[in-house]
């Protein structure tokens, strides 16, 4: 072989596909705006634990993190606790242990050791592996707690007296002395305020005793009084609580954990309406929130729900967490009904919250991705949609999935929206995004501002459209450094006019220049040969810019698949109904006219040629070597083919 044949078959090039680090569909969160999922549901024990942790902090040091107190009080066994607080205590950065060791708080140390001893013995006593020393002899099992009961009865601690009284109550309950447990707790806490946590916890043990003694009516009344709706034995604990203790925050927590129960939630509409007039209910925001949720979710009345949620936000909630959920839900109802009046204030509220929780972020992303962007896009408010997407995309990086793909040039929804416009539309949008106004000024803080980013995309859209004059204008503003660092830079080495690798710093600009020149020559060339060959090269370049050299007009190809935002639960029609406007290479019809016209353009360009030399050159470009030797044997190109390979006859 004397030489490496220099030719490009447009047909063979377009048959090749390749993948790139392209976009991945954003997962649109579907949080529980009102309800609670199984991982975030609170039990009565959770309410008591949270309050107890705050009490321990007030009894020791207000600067101690609650998480440190939880570790020492609830998570560590007695052995571990004593290891961190004994004479030769182990090193720890837990500030609760540090406090105990530095202050030598004997009262707290003794109490916690005793409470953990009771917990340890009780756990062993109720283990399925536990056997009494003498079967049937309950007195021996009961006696296992006698030393703890005696110690706690005699403890002289004004500071921790109520806690010791609770330990006696627990020990009597554990030893199944139910009558004695009721009698002791009733006496020990008689003069203690009803809002005292230890008294309320002791009453729950008393209710447990009454239940085991067969008096479920008394037990249920106590459970309701303490807020323990989960332990009520009646068939309708919600109605029972609503009648006996409607102001308890646990009632709403119980309802929220069952928010997916359509029958229950619809049945609660008259209950909520009744409680909103009950003077015992101070957390009316909770109930109007519930009504708003049911009205929208199960009655499909977003406008009516919006009225209710606005009313709720003027009222008191049982917790700041539920208030925040209500405000996010207001954002959703505003978006569903097309009201933008408070959007900026809500976004500023989200952006300004400290220690914001993950569910609030998920709620905000749902509102923007699922409602505002499709609505604004269909109203042709492209700049607002893109700026909102940019705001959301900045928050959409909480998972490893998004952290990984956020480094992509085009792995976010903001880019995909811009990629779905025409080049002229994007030019207008970029100018609109620069305009000043409260919303634009706020959202633009999180938007990309580098000119390379926008100029390169506008230029690429123009290449896709075949507007090479506009393409060369905008691509001329893009730095070579930016091109080198794009994820598709490797694919830009492919030459749409030959088989050599491109070494230019800006291949897209070079392509735009050549295509603009070919288009000009097609009409101004001095001869039919010059015009015909230019038309042939233009057709090949256009065809290959959507095929083998797809990186000239696209940002991904191959295995990436369709780019369709999806919900984090299964909803088959969501993308089809809401994001059908997104540009996707696999579904695009941009290339179809190019492919359909290619053969016609080739035939037309060949028909324009006037000399055999030009015809031979055209067939050489197309890879038709046999045609050159057979039909145009006396041309320079035919002599080149015959003399450039020793065995040319074998491959013609």
Mean pLDDT of 441-465: 94
Tell me the backbone φ, ψ of residue 501, rounded to 5 degrees: -80, 145
> Could you please report the per-residue DSSP string of 210-254?
HHHTT-HHHHHHHHHHHT-GGG--SS-HHHHHHHH-TT-HHHHHH
Q: How many CB atoms lie within 10 A of CB 352?
A: 8
Instruction: Please tell me what DSSP assigns to residue 133.
Output: S
Q: What percent of the chain has pLDDT over 70?
A: 88
Q: What confidence score (pLDDT) does residue 500 get?
A: 73
Tell me the backbone φ, ψ of residue 494, rounded to 5 degrees: -75, 135
How confident is the model over 249-267, as pLDDT tens digits? 999 999 999 999 999 999 9
With CA atoms as reference, report the closest residue to 266 among 243, 292, 294, 288: 294
How confident is the model over 358-371, as pLDDT tens digits? 889 999 999 999 99
Cα distances (Å, whole numbers) of residue 315 to 249, 279, 284, 457 = 15, 14, 6, 49
C-alpha span between 538 and 533 (Å, rounded): 8
Mean pLDDT of 113-135: 72
Q: Are 34 and 256 in contact (CB under 8 A)?
A: yes
pTM for this predicted structure? 0.84
Secondary structure tally for the chain: helices H, strands E: 38, 2
pLDDT above 60 (res 136): no
How confident is the model over 499-517, as pLDDT tens digits? 677 778 999 999 999 999 9
pLDDT, the chain, mean: 88
With CA atoms as reference, report the closest residue to 7 among 601, 497, 358, 350: 497
Mean pLDDT of 409-430: 90
More confident residue, 399 or 157: 157
Q: Which residues of 73-103 are buried (b: 16+ CB within 10 A; e: fewer)?
A: beebebeebbebbeeeeeebebbbbbbbeee
Mean pLDDT of 594-601: 89
Tell me the backbone φ, ψ of residue 27, rounded to 5 degrees: -90, 115
Q: What stretch of H or E contains 566?
A: strand 566-567
From 29-38, 134-143, 214-223, 469-478, the region with the lowest mean pLDDT: 134-143
């Amino acid at each position: 072989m004397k030489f490496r044949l220099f030719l490009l078959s447009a047909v063979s090039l377009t048959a090749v596909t390749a993948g790139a680090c392209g976009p991945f569909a954003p997962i649109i969160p579907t949080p529980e705006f009102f309800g609670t999922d199984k991982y975030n549901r609170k039990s009565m024990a959770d309410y008591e634990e949270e309050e107890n942790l705050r009490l321990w902090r007030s009894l020791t040091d207000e600067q101690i993190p609650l998480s440190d107190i939880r570790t020492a009080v609830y998570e560590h066994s007695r052995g571990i606790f004593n290891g961190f607080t004994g004479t030769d205590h182990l090193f720890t950065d837990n500030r609760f242990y540090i406090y105990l060791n530095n202050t030598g708080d004997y009262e707290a140390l003794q109490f916690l050791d005793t409470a953990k001893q009771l917990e340890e013995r009780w756990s062993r006593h109720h283990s399925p592996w536990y056997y009494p020393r003498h079967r049937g002899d309950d007195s021996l099992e009961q006696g296992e707690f006698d030393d703890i009961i005696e110690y706690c009865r005699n403890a002289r601690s004004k500071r921790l007296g109520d806690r010791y009284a609770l330990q006696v109550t627990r020990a009597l309950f554990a030893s199944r002395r139910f009558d004695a447990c009721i009698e002791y707790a009733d006496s020990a806490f008689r003069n203690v305020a009803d809002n005292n946590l230890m008294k309320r916890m002791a009453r729950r043990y008393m209710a447990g005793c009454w239940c085991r003694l067969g008096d479920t009516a008394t037990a249920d009344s106590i459970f309701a009084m303490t807020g323990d709706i989960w332990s009520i034995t009646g068939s309708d604990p919600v109605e029972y609580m609503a009648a006996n203790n409607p102001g308890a925050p646990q009632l709403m927590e119980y309802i929220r954990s069952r928010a997916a129960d359509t029958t229950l939630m619809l049945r609660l509409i008259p209950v909520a309406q009744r409680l909103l007039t009950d003077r015992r209910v101070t957390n009316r925001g909770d109930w109007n929130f519930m009504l708003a949720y049911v009205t929208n979710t199960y009655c499909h009345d977003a406008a009516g729900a919006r009225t209710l949620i606005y009313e709720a936000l003027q009222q008191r909630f049982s917790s700041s967490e539920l208030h925040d959920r209500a405000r996010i839900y207001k954002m959703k109802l505003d978006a569903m009904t097309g009201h933008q009046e408070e959007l900026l204030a809500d976004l500023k509220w989200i952006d300004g919250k400290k220690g914001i929780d993950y569910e609030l972020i998920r709620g905000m992303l749902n509102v923007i991705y699922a409602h505002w962007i499709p609505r604004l896009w269909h109203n042709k408010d492209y700049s607002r949609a893109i700026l909102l997407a940019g705001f959301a995309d900045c928050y959409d990086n909480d998972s490893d999935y998004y952290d990984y793909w956020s480094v992509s040039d085009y792995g976010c929804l903001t880019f995909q929206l811009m990629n779905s416009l025409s080049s002229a539309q994007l030019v207008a949008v970029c100018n609109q995004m620069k305009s000043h106004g409260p919303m634009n000024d706020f959202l633009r803080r999180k938007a990309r501002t580098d000119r390379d980013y926008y100029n390169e995309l506008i230029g690429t859209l123009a290449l896709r459209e075949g507007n090479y004059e506009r393409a060369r204008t905008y691509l001329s503003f893009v730095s070579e450094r930016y091109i080198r660092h794009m994820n598709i830079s490797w694919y830009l080495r492919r030459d749409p006019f030959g088989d050599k690798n491109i070494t230019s710093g800006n291949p897209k600009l070079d392509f735009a220049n050549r295509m603009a020149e070919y288009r000009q020559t097609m009409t101004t060339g001095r001869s039919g040969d010059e015009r015909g060959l230019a038309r042939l090269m233009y057709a090949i370049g256009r065809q290959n810019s959507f095929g083998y050299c797809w990186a000239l007009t696209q940002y991904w190809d191959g295995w990436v698949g369709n780019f369709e935002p999806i919900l984090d639960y299964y909803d088959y029609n969501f993308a089809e109904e809401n994001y059908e406007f997104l540009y996707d290479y696999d579904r695009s019809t941009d290339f179809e006219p190019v492919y359909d016209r290619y053969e016609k353009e080739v035939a037309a360009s060949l028909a324009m040629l006037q000399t055999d030399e030009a015809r031979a050159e055209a067939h050489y470009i197309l890879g038709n070597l046999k045609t050159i030797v057979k039909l145009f044997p006396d041309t320079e190109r035919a002599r080149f083919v015959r003399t450039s390979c020793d065995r040319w006859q074998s491959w013609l």
